Amino acid sequence: MFEVIVAAEFSSAHALRHYHGVTEPLHGHNFRVEVVVQGKRLRNKVKYLTDFVALEHALQAIVKPMDHVNLNECPPFDHENPSAENLAYYVAKKLKQSWHAAGARIASVTVWETANTAARYRPTNRS
């Protein structure tokens, strides 16, 4: 099994709703999003799993609108909590819609809030 990893960063504010019964104070993070795609075979004469550049562009298109905003004011996080878990799920869902490479699939999306804390979403075949 081969894996390709790309990452992107964005800075945003958020406040989790219902955090210990209240909405936590608005605060910011320098988020890092890491996407892992995997597949069993390398493609074409180049012998790669997928094109780094195409995957990076697809990821950037998803995270750019989240840069330097209050996530609580941006769909879908104006209704969903902008937790790292929900951010990872959102990126995976959007990437599944916008990026395709024969023989490769999204294995995981990890969203780092700090250098020491992250949440990871691993899509199943059905999600």
Model confidence pLDDT, tens digit, residues 11-22: 999 999 999 989
Q: Tell me: the pLDDT tens digits for 39-82?
A: 999 988 889 999 999 999 999 999 999 999 999 999 999 999 99
Residue partners of 81: CB distance under 8 A and separation at least 6 = 16, 17, 18
Q: What is the pLDDT of residue 106?
A: 96
Q: What is the spatial distance between Cα 43 and Cα 68, in angstroms, rounded to a whole number?
A: 37
pLDDT of residue 125: 67
CB-based contacts of 79, cutoff 8 Å, min separation 6: none
Residue ranges of E strands in 1-127: 2-14, 27-39, 105-112, 118-121
Render the burial of 88-113: b for 16+ CB within 10 Å, e for the rest.
bbbbbbbbeeebebeebebbbbbbbb
Per-residue model confidence (pLDDT) at position 49: 92
Rounded CA-CA distance 120/116 in Å is 13
In eight-state DSSP terms, residue 84 is: H
- Per-residue pLDDT at 3: 96
Say what the pTM is. Answer: 0.92
75-127 residue pLDDT tens: 999 999 999 999 999 999 999 999 988 889 999 999 999 999 999 999 986 54
pLDDT above 80 for 25? yes
Tokens 């894996």 -> residue: 3
- Cα–Cα distances in angstroms (integers) from residue 38 to residues 9, 91, 111, in the given order: 21, 17, 18
Q: What's residue 42's pLDDT?
A: 92
